[in-house]
Amino acid sequence: MSTESTTGAAAAKPSVLFVCVHNAGRSQMAAAFLTALAGDRIEVRSAGSQPADRINPAAVEAMREVGIDMSAEVPKVLTADAVQASDVVITMGCGDECPYFPGKRYEDWKLEDPAGQGLESVRPIRDDIKGRIEALIESLAPATADE
């Protein structure tokens, strides 16, 4: 139950990698939510097995509606180094294209792909992701109440 608070606390910060095929919608929304909601308590990465040229504009607009600007983000290629450097790897439809390393916590989130969909269809995906992110934060870095 005790968590040590030392100058090396940064080394204990959990890290999460979100992976989808294009790194243009789901994984970017998840990374943006985790960054916004967890602050500096969790290190956040996202990548794609086949990155797109740009972020999905409907995903950018859906996130803007909830006060999160991810318009400057760019899709990034998935590397084995990114997986190795992460404690938790959350995949979103990339299947066998995601590298596997023993000792990592893997989760596969079944989410509809927002690619080619309009804002009305992306909003429920965004809201689903937010709920999952809130649960993830609680499992990795629960808030401490007035300690």
For 30-55, how does the pLDDT look when each residue is reduced to its tens digit (9 = 90+)? Answer: 999 999 999 999 999 999 989 999 99
Sign of CA dihedral 142, 5, 41, 88: negative
Mean pLDDT of 5-26: 77
Q: Please, where are the H alpha helices in the chain? A: 26-38, 57-64, 80-84, 119-140
User: In this structure, what token pair is assigned to residue 39?
Assistant: 């602050």
Mean pLDDT of 110-129: 96
Q: Which of 16, 17, 19, 20 is catalytic?
A: 20
Burial string for 95-112 (b: 16+ CB within 10 Å, else e) reads eeebbeeeeeeeeebebe
Catalytic residue list contains 87: no
pLDDT of residue 93: 77
Residue 141 has pLDDT above 70, yes or no: yes
Q: Which of 30, 31, 70, 98 is catalytic?
A: 98
pLDDT of residue 144: 63
31 found inside a domain: yes
Structural domain harbouring 19: 12-140
Question: Are the C-beta atoms of 86 and 104 separated by less than 8 Å?
Answer: yes
46 found inside a domain: yes
Catalytic residue list contains 55: no
Average pLDDT, the chain: 88
Q: Please give the model's pTM, rounded to 2 decimal places.
A: 0.87
pLDDT of residue 1: 43
Catalytic residue list contains 93: no
Q: How many domains does the chain divide into?
A: 1
Q: Which of 42, 59, 62, 94 is catalytic?
A: 94
Residue 126: give its domain's CATH number: 3.40.50.2300
Q: What is the pLDDT of residues 62-107, one digit of tens each?
A: 999 999 999 999 999 999 999 999 999 999 976 666 777 888 999 9
- Torsion angle of C-alpha atoms 29, 32, 37, 38, degrees rounded to 10: 120
Question: In the 8-state DSSP scheme, what is residue 52?
Answer: -
